[in-house]
Structure 1
Amino acid sequence: MIQAFRILGWLEGLSFLALLLIAMPVKYMAGNPAMVKALGPIHGFLFIGYVLMANFLAGELNWPMKTRLLAFVSSVLPAGTFWFERKYLDKKEVA
């Protein structure tokens, strides 16, 4: 389950960065909102999945409140999911 959460975190993080660094500039600089319309719902779906899975894992692994909150906060920060994965998802837990 942790491995699936890692993958979801990477996908959510990449979709967020693509939205911020590619789609939004194209929308506002080139006047073409097509990429935002395409990536926005994908990112939204991945974001909701990340938050739900973080909540589930927090209960299953008995994360302290600090770790739970950091998982949720990291989901709204650019590259936050990458940081959370490296800092809090220990490789030993995956095995």
Structure 2
Amino acid sequence: MLRIFRIIALVEGVTTIALFLVAMPLKYWAGNPMLVPPVGMTHGVAWLAYLAAMIACLPGKGFSGWEWARTFIAALFPFGTFLNDPLIRGKQTARPVV
């Protein structure tokens, strides 16, 4: 389950980068807002999937209250999911694969 969560976190992080580093600069610097709606919606869906995956994948995996909070907060900041990935990977490798 943590592997699934890590994949969803990766998608959420990539969509954040696409929104902030591709779609929004095209809108504000090049005057072309064409990419903002599809990339923004994709990012919104990925963010909701990240939250749902937290609820579905993390219980019972040994996360402390702070680690839960850190994992949620990671989704609120650009590159946060990438910075939080070592924590998730560590939990994943510490548990036997079932």
- TM normalised by structure 1 equals 0.89
Residue 81 of structure 2 aligns with which residue?
A: 81
Taking structure 1 as reference, are residues 51 and 32 closer, same or farther at Cα in structure 2, changes over 3 Å only?
Answer: same
**Aligned 8 A contact 1:5 1:53 in 2:** yes
Residue 50 of structure 1 aligns with which residue?
A: 50
Residue 34 of structure 1 aligns with which residue?
A: 34
Unaligned runs of 5+ in 1: none
**Aligned 8 A contact 1:55 1:68 in 2:** no
**Whole-angstrom CA distance in 2 between matches of 1:17 and 1:94:** 32
Give the count of matched residue pairs. 95
Residue 94 of structure 2 aligns with which residue?
A: 92
Residue 69 of structure 2 aligns with which residue?
A: 69
**Aligned 8 A contact 1:2 1:93 in 2:** no
How far residue 94 of structure 1 moved from its aligned partner, in angstroms, is: 6.6
How far residue 54 of structure 1 moved from its aligned partner, in angstroms, is: 1.2
Residue 11 of structure 1 aligns with which residue?
A: 11
How far residue 4 of structure 1 moved from its aligned partner, in angstroms, is: 0.7
Q: Deviations over 1:33-82 (max 9, x none)?
A: 11111101111001001011112333232421101100110001111111
- TM normalised by structure 2 equals 0.87
**Whole-angstrom CA distance in 2 between matches of 1:12 and 1:84:** 12
**Aligned 8 A contact 2:2 2:88 in 1:** no
Unaligned runs of 5+ in 2: none
